[in-house]
Amino acid sequence: MTGKSEKYLDLLNTEQRKVVEKIFGSILVLAGAGSGKTRVLTYKILHLLYKKLATPSQIIAVTFTNKAASEMKARIAKIINLPIDRMWVGTFHSLSLKILRNHYEEVGLKKNFLIIDTDDQLKLIKNICEIEKIDIKEISAKYFLNAIDSFKNKGITFDDLKENKYRKYDQEIRTVYKIYQSELLRLNSLDFGDLILYCINIFKRNKKILQKYQNSFKFILVDEYQDINPIQQMWIHYLYQGHKNICCVGDDDQSIYSWRGADVSNLLNFEKNFSDVEIIRLEQNYRSTKNILNCASSLISKNKGRYGKELWSDNDVGDKINVNGFWETKEEAIFVSEKIENLIKDNEKLNEIAILFRVAAHTRSFEERFINLGLPYKIIGGLRFFERREIKDIIAYLRLTNNLSDDLAFERIINVPKRGIGKSTLSKISSHARMNNISLFESAKQSIFKTNSKAKTEIYNFIENIIKWQKVHKNFDHIELAKVIIEDSGYVDYLKKEEMTSNNPENLTRLDNIYEFIESLKDFQNLNGFLEHVSLVMENISNTSNETLTLMTMHAAKGLEFNNVFLAGWEEGVFPSQRSIEETGNKGLEEERRLAYVALTRARKKINITYVNQNRYSFASHDYNLPSRFISELPEEIININDSKYIKENNFLDEFVDSNIFSDDFVSPGRKRLLDNSKKKEIEWDFNQDDQFDNEILHGKKVYHKKFGYGKIKNIDGDKAFVNFENNFSKKVFVKFLKTID
Q: Name the residues annotated as catalytic.
A: 37-38, 223-224, 254, 602
Phi and psi for 549 in degrees, rounded to 5?
Answer: -80, 160
**Gap between the Cα atoms of 117 and 644, Å rounded:** 49
* Stretch (H or E) spanning 89: strand 88-90
Does residue 417 have a cis peptide bond before it, meaning omega lies within 30 degrees of 0? Answer: yes
Are 624 and 652 in contact by the 8 Å Cβ rule? The answer is yes
Helices 510-521 and 478-488: angle between axes, nearest 10 degrees: 160
Three-state secondary structure call for residue 722: strand
**Gap between the Cα atoms of 377 and 351, Å rounded:** 9
Question: Are β-strands 277-282 and 321-326 bridged in parallel, bridged antiparallel, or unpaired?
Answer: unpaired
> Closest Cα partner for 639 from 610, 612, 614?
610
- Could you tell me how far CA 588 lies from the centroid of its own chain? 13
**Gap between the Cα atoms of 458 and 418, Å rounded:** 10
CA-based torsion, 545, 550, 556, 557: positive or negative: positive
The type of residue at 408 is L
Helices 491-500 and 478-488: angle between axes, nearest 10 degrees: 60
Q: Which residues contact 48 (CB under 8 A, 6 or more apart)?
A: 23, 54, 59, 219
Q: 3-class secondary structure for 233-277?
A: HHHHHHHHCCCCCEEEEECHHHCCCHHHCCCCHHHHCHHHHCCCE
**Gap between the Cα atoms of 89 and 221, Å rounded:** 9
The residues pairing with 712 across neighbouring beta strands, listed in sequence order, are 702, 724
**Gap between the Cα atoms of 233 and 237, Å rounded:** 6
Phi and psi for 66 in degrees, rounded to 5?
Answer: -65, -30
Are 394 and 485 in contact by the 8 Å Cβ rule? The answer is yes
The residues pairing with 379 across neighbouring beta strands, listed in sequence order, are 551
In whole angstroms, how far apart are CA 227 and each of 26, 215, 279?
18, 26, 18
Q: Which residues contact 313 (CB under 8 A, 6 or more apart)?
A: 284, 285, 286, 287, 288, 289, 290, 293
Write the DSSP assignment of 149-212 as a string of letters.
HHHHHTT--TTTPPP-TTSTTHHHHHHHHHHHHHHHHHTTEE-HHHHHHHHHHHHHH-HHHHHH
Helices 37-50 and 66-79: angle between axes, nearest 10 degrees: 50
Question: Are β-strands 26-31 and 59-62 bridged in parallel, bridged antiparallel, or unpaired?
Answer: unpaired
**Gap between the Cα atoms of 430 and 427, Å rounded:** 5
- Alpha carbon dihedral 340, 346, 352, 357, in 10-degree steps, equals -20
- Could you tell me how far CA 189 lies from the centroid of its own chain? 29
**Gap between the Cα atoms of 231 and 237, Å rounded:** 10
**Gap between the Cα atoms of 490 and 390, Å rounded:** 13
Phi and psi for 18 in degrees, rounded to 5?
Answer: -60, -40
Q: If phi over 0 gives left and psi between -120 and 50 gives alpha, with beta otherwise, what is residue 438?
A: beta
